[in-house]
Chains A and B, each alone.
Chain A
């Protein structure tokens, strides 16, 4: 089954404790992206990757890191989480950059930083 998986689905952590949210897709997609969803602000892109070893900042990259060492995986790293990073996070992938390419979303990771 074609899918994007994320782990963990739920996480409660404390300020400053480094964490990684994993994302994996099995569709051989070149393009992967991370979004965060906040009430009243909608979904905003954090980082994206157009292929292995090619990553770039989205609209809200501060406090986050990413890497793309393999095509299928695109982990999101929070080196020193803060309460303002409490949010619902989505990983998404698509075949490429073309506008016609639908983005497939993972199930979401609900993160709470205390």
Chain B
């Protein structure tokens, strides 16, 4: 079963508007971390934001915020005031605390965001 599901392969947003990228996850581990990474066309992976399973507040980092709904197992990324430079692939990822998971990040398939001028 997929542990991280991103149901939007591609999305378009108008410049200066807000956009929400969906992510749902599946784990039985009570302690886990959720991450969002951005991958521009140049290929590097850029960390955007982190949410811990025990965090009471939704994480925010500048124009990025994470809409964390633990009961629904969703961790959607919200980008406010989109810019042309936000056009990229976005990955949701999870890290579980089980020792036998080896600390790996489990990635979703990604959402390709295109910002229109």
What residues make up the interface of A, taking CB atoms closer than 8 Å to B? 31, 33, 35, 40, 42-45, 48, 50, 56, 58-59, 88, 90, 92, 94, 96-105, 107-108, 110
What are 9 of the A-B contact pairs (CB < 8 Å)? A35-B105, A43-B91, A43-B105, A99-B96, A102-B47, A105-B37, A105-B46, A107-B43, A108-B44
Contact check, B104 vs A58: say whether CB atoms are below 8 A apart.
yes
The main secondary structure of chain A at its interface with chain B is: strand
Contact check, B32 vs A99: say whether CB atoms are below 8 A apart.
yes
Q: Which residue of A lies closest to B39 (CB)?
A: A37
Contact check, A110 vs B43: say whether CB atoms are below 8 A apart.
yes
The answer to whether the Cβ of B83 comes within 8 Å of any Cβ in the partner chain is no
Question: What is the distance, in angstroms, from B22's C-beta to the closest C-beta of chain A?
Answer: 16
Contact check, B91 vs A33: say whether CB atoms are below 8 A apart.
no
How far is A42 from B9 in the complex, measured between Cα atoms in Å? 12
**Which of B10-18, B70-78, B107-115 faces chain A?**
B107-115
Question: What is the distance, in angstroms, from B9's C-beta to the closest C-beta of chain A?
Answer: 10
Question: What is the distance, in angstroms, from B112's C-beta to the closest C-beta of chain A?
Answer: 12
How far is A3 from B53 in the complex, measured between Cα atoms in Å? 27
Closest 6 CB pairs of A and B: A99-B33, A105-B45, A45-B104, A97-B103, A43-B107, A42-B107
Q: Which of A33, A56, A99 has the most CB of B within 10 A?
A: A99
Contact A99-B43, Cβ < 8 Å, known A31-B103, A42-B107? no
